[in-house]
Every structure is written in C-alpha cells, then in structure tokens.
A and B are shown apart, each in its own frame.
Chain A
C-alpha cells in the first residue's frame, strides 16, 4: 500500500540536543511538507520541498532544518535553537498541481522535551 511513514511515533529530546524526525513516502509525490501542530492551533508550515535537492522555509522555520536528497525522504531536524519544540509534527506530500485536494498526511510524531 502506498502512503507516508513517519517515525518514531514518540520522541523525547534533552536540552541542547538535536533530534531528527523521519518521513518517507512511496507515493511518488514530488512535493513534501512539514507542519507543526500545537494544541488549539492550526497547522503551521515549517518547511516544504517541491523537488529533490530544493526546499523552502515556511512560516516557522527558525530552529529547524531539512534535507531532500531523495524523492522519497524528507527528514526534519529539530535543533537546539528551537526553544519550544514540544509539539505534534506532521509530514505530508502531494503530486504536482493543486495542493489542497491531493495532500496526504503521515500519522505524526509527538516530540516532547525531557
């Protein structure tokens, strides 16, 4: 079955530590996205990539970094510069064209600070 796989489901970060969230898709989608979800707030876009080896900052990119070396993979690193990293992180992908109706989401990673 095609889909988006995020791992791990739960992740804990110590102070000053960088952590990496994995996102893999086998849908052959060109575009991939990372969103942050905080309780009671909408999804906020962190980074997105429309093609391999290219990515753009979203609305809240500070303290995060990404890479897009393969079409299937779009890992997100939460750096020590992100002072409030506790949130639910969602990865998504879409084919070319109209994003809204063709956006597929993974099951998310809950990141917490120890």
Chain B
C-alpha cells in the first residue's frame, strides 16, 4: 500500500528560527514528490515539486531535498516568519497512474514571537 508519513506531527518555533520537516514514503513506482502549504480552511498551495533526478530545490526561504534511494524528503524553512504558520503536506505521485496523489499526514507548524 502506498503511504506517506511525515514528522513531526506538530512543531512550535520562534520567529526567525529555522526548522526542518521530514517526509518518508513507500509509494512505488515513484514519479514525483510535492510539498504544499495549507492554511486553515484554504486549499493547499504548492511550494515545490521534485522528480526522481532532483535532490534539492529551493523556493525562497523553502528548500526541499529528496533522496530517492532512501525514499525520504525534507522541507527546510529558513528564517521563519509568523506567516509560515500552517500545515505542510508532502504529496507523492506514483508513476503510471496519471492521477492519484498520496497525501502525507502533514506537519502543523506554529511560528511564535
């Protein structure tokens, strides 16, 4: 069964600090991995998408890494801001299905003063 697990489940950090969120997956065959930011009650917003051949990708203060051998990804947030408070969801797509995305359990991040 295709699964995506994220850790930690929740995280509280001070504004200005860095943090790293983890994603482990068992989706096979792997096509791509996406990180989304979801504010409460809003639709997920794409941060990055990574394919098998990519091992790092940045989007502003967000840097995602991918190790396709160990089936792990991380999302590093630098110099956190209060507006970073949201759920961060790792989503993995299997090759060949052309559709279904497997969602991770999400990490709830809270940035405080």
Q: Do A and B bind each other?
A: no
Binding site for A on B (CB under 8 A): none
